[in-house]
Amino acid sequence: MPTNKPIALITGGTRGIGLGIATALAREGYDLAVNGVRPEGDVADTLVQLRSHGGRVVYCRGDVGIGKDRTAIVDRVRKELGALHVLVNCAGITSPGRKDLLDATEEAFDQVMAVNLKGRFFLTQLFARWIIEQHERDKSFRGCVINISSVSGQLASMNRGDYCLSWAATAMATKLWAVRLAPHGIAVYEIRPGIIETDMTAPVKEKYDKLIAEGLLLEPRWGTPEDIGRAAAALCRGDIPYATGQVLTIDGGMTIQRL
């Protein structure tokens, strides 16, 4: 049932960047709904860790790329927690096989777009409809949507074309939802991470270790899920006001053009 605590749903919230955000919000006093595709037993330790901060934590298993799963996720949050203030769209997949553009397949393209773009768009739609109901009942009620994307939406990777396209489109989705939801007190942001040390980036660690050593970044270290979590918490707290629709790039200076 509803409490006086704010409530956040974080997709992909049991590992990597999503877990970094979930942990940061748990420390801020949020009740959480965390989503993932693994069985609940496989994430039991993570749920215990999140609950150690004193809030309620509900696990919502499901694939955001599938319509019925998205509906089930929101229904579970409504039943178990009763309200929702923040949606963090973090669930995402990399390009299967990391194939060159000339070898890319429609199957892989559709798989990436289903999770990284379509799933987020329509989950935001479900969230928005619900939060508008809450705002209409209580005009002081405020909500927030945060889309976690990637600098790959700006930087071309020849072996991850579908991945790059999904994040480029997410930038426009952020703007679209910011415009549509502003009258209802819902701010929409995009956090654009650079090279973050997670299980997803583990296979390319040697490559990026070398690039970082050669000066790829202004801040010469891997980013961490905690870095992204702290940024998300600042947005949720309203520490960066008057900025709906904007992008917060957390990349150690990677995308600054230099001569």
Active site residues: 163
Q: What is the largest CA-CA distance in the chain?
A: 56
For residues 86 and 30, give the distance between their C-alpha atoms in angstroms, rounded to a whole number.
10
Ramachandran quadrant class, 41 (left: phi over 0; alpha: psi -120 to 50; beta: rest) = alpha
For residues 249 and 195, give the distance between their C-alpha atoms in angstroms, rounded to a whole number.
11
